[in-house]
Amino acid sequence: MANPKHELKPEDKRLQESITAIGNGYMGLRGNFEEGYSGDKLQGTYLGGVWFPDKTVVGWWKNGYPKYFGKVINAPSFIDMKLVVNGHKVDLAQDSYQNFSLTLDLHQGLLSRSFIYVGNDTKVRFTFRRFLSNVIKEAALIEVKADVLAGQATIKLDASLDGNVTNEDSNYGDRFWQPISEDGNEHTIQMVTKPNPYGVPRFTVLLKQHLRLNGAAYNGDVKTATGIISENWEDTLQAGQSVRIEKDVIVITSRDVVPDEQVERAAELMYELQAKSFTENLTEHTAVWGSRWSASDVVIDGDEAAQQGIRFNIAQLFMTYHGEDERLNVGPKGFTGEKYGGATYWDTEAYVVPMYLAVAQPQVTRGLLQYRHDQLPGAYHNARQQGLKGALFPMVTFNGIECHNEWEITFEEIHRNAAVAFAIYQYTAYTGDESYVNHDGIEVLVAISRFWADRVHYSQHQHKYMIHGVTGPNEYENNVNNNWYTNTMAAWVLQYTLARIPHADHDVMQGLAVTDEEQAYWRDIVDNMYFPEDKKLGIFFTKRYLSG
């Protein structure tokens, strides 16, 4: 039986690209083919924290409705290494080929691919390797080796940087990037996101490439066009001969370097990168992965598929986020595609935080908690948009401002607020580190508690506090009253906040000005929250809260 990794199935091409995506937290890309592919595909390169506010498409508006849907945008492509053999452009969607192999090494985040191109009078084996450095976060290294197995092959390679990219999920079909410059001497292109009417800062990105031929620096014929720079190599090889070409890339964004300084910074990083060989850079990169795996590996005996599955999930999460940048978070699809806009969802606190606590160093989770604290201003804004006090953390965001475009989620899935508070509890309980909860964390807890205290209403008939008009975490039913999970977590947050206040930093509490009357009101909500019960169906619920 053929090994699935040695089969290229056009009908599964997009799936292949998703499951072979790689990243280093700073950037990531789908498993697209360097030489290009004319069949169905989704070309995707993504930069952490680089996004665009795409105008929302809706049929009607509610008060406070987000004006845009934030999404990570397809970044300028840097993997392109088009190949021509004896005048024919190599394209696995149309060509004859043999011995296709594609492997993602989870231990080092290395993507490898090989195949034998079969021409009319020649056979050439092409072998690709690429990785995104964990040592120089701005660096991508791509290597292709050509071995002529039969006949004579005149091989041309065109290595390019291409800023003329689009998003499939653009609400209005817009192109999000505009060119600034193409510099053949510096081997760079510089692009900027198009203007927007929402006050979201524009992002500028600069990409720089250099080639190496059999390990030595190589300067080929450089050409430029709008948003594109390309460099060519060509030679004729006989059977038994081979060549190895490496493409080194540096990607700089205005999140870290102002546009006027990007050329200089890219040159510095390129010098640092090319001071070492592909193998030496890969060895250092792999050492970082080694330290992660030594602390994080999960071993499952007796189930090979489950073992591979858990390691795949850990690797993909670590390639998306490993705590190096507290301005970033974990998109639901990581760097694997455009779905969910690459934004921050409540899934981070609900599902990802427990995983990171179990298999990563504590500072990784601490970074995710800090992310939410730093975006408190946006959460206050979201609550005000609904006419409520306190802070409402968003379902979808890049900057703390809610940007989801479905009203039943934007306005009603407010249980997400409790997930943020519960993540603080989990981190504190798991690590024993109270430094966050007693300082920045208590600010978050008080802000969320004030939201819940304003969102509930008191039923004179039931003599209970209730929360109407919500969508529960299963998302199956919208606009329901007293979803049990939502009510439970709202009461729990109030109780946990009350339990933490006596331990919190005095100066922080002075600034928050939580009065005795306010705390008494929170206790009353905790003691008198309504929990629905259907005695006929035997469905009932009890109050059980985690201790503070």
Alpha-carbon distance of 169 to 155, in angstroms, equals 36
Alpha-carbon distance of 455 to 482, in angstroms, equals 12
Taking the CA of residue 528 as centre, how many other CA atoms within 13 Å lie in the half-sphere pointing to its CB?
17
* Ordered mean pLDDT values, 10 residues apiece, the chain (548 residues): 69 96 97 98 96 79 75 95 98 97 96 97 97 98 98 98 93 90 97 95 98 96 97 98 98 98 98 98 98 95 96 96 95 89 91 93 95 97 94 95 83 95 98 97 98 97 95 87 93 98 97 98 97 78 50
CB of 149 closer than 8 Å to CB of 284: no
56 Cα distance to chain centroid: 21
DSSP state of 398: S
CB of 181 closer than 8 Å to CB of 226: no
Kindly state the tokens that stand for 261. Answer: 């300084």
Coil, strand or helix: which one is 147? strand
CB of 124 closer than 8 Å to CB of 148: yes
Q: Which fold has domain 4-46+74-258?
A: Beta-galactosidase; Chain A, domain 5 (2.70.98)
Give 213's strand partners.
Answer: 216, 245
Place of tokens 């390129």: 270
Alpha-carbon distance of 32 to 17, in angstroms, equals 6
CB of 382 closer than 8 Å to CB of 401: yes
**pLDDT attached to residue 478:** 87
Q: What is the DSSP pairing of strand 51-55 with strand 27-29?
A: unpaired
Alpha-carbon distance of 470 to 479, in angstroms, equals 5
Positions of CATH 1.50.10.10 in the chain = 344-527
Alpha-carbon distance of 133 to 284, in angstroms, equals 9
Alpha-carbon distance of 154 to 234, in angstroms, equals 7
Of the candidates 372, 526, 352, which has an alpha carbon nearest to the alpha carbon of residue 440?
Answer: 372
CB of 25 closer than 8 Å to CB of 321: yes
How far, CA to CA in Å, does 485 sit from each of 411, 413, 465?
16, 11, 14
DSSP state of 115: E
DSSP state of 539: B
122 φ/ψ angles, rounded to the nearest 5 degrees = -155, 155
User: Which amino acid belongs to residue 123?
Assistant: K
Q: Which runs of consecutive H residues, i.e. helices, occur in 170-322?
A: 262-274, 278-296, 304-320
DSSP string computed for 76-110? PB---EEEEETTEE--TTTS-EEEEEEEEETTTTE
291 Cα distance to chain centroid: 22
364 Cα distance to chain centroid: 15
Alpha-carbon distance of 251 to 262, in angstroms, equals 9
Active site residue 280: no
Kindly state the tokens that stand for 120. Answer: 């009319």
CB of 78 closer than 8 Å to CB of 44: no
Classify the phi-psi angles of 350: left when phi > 0, otherwise alpha if psi is within -120 to 50, otherwise beta.
Answer: alpha
**pLDDT attached to residue 236:** 98
* Other beta carbons less than 10 A from residue 260's beta carbon: 8
Positions of CATH 2.70.98.40 in the chain = 4-46+74-258
Taking the CA of residue 325 as centre, how many other CA atoms within 13 Å lie in the half-sphere pointing to its CB?
19
CB of 177 closer than 8 Å to CB of 254: no
Classify the phi-psi angles of 305: left when phi > 0, otherwise alpha if psi is within -120 to 50, otherwise beta.
Answer: alpha
Taking the CA of residue 317 as centre, how many other CA atoms within 13 Å lie in the half-sphere pointing to its CB?
24
Alpha-carbon distance of 196 to 55, in angstroms, equals 9
484 φ/ψ angles, rounded to the nearest 5 degrees = -60, -40
**pLDDT attached to residue 58:** 66
How far, CA to CA in Å, does 124 sit from each of 8, 85, 102, 239?
18, 9, 17, 9
Kindly state the tokens that stand for 81. Answer: 């290494």
Kindly state the tokens that stand for 185. Answer: 């001497």
Burial class (CB in 10 A: 0-12, 13-18, 19+), 519: middle
Q: Which fold has domain 344-527?
A: Glycosyltransferase (1.50.10)
Q: What is the pTM of this model?
A: 0.94
Point out the catalytic residue in the list 168, 234, 268, 475. 475
431 Cα distance to chain centroid: 25
Vertex 18 angle, CA 15 and 19, to 5°: 90
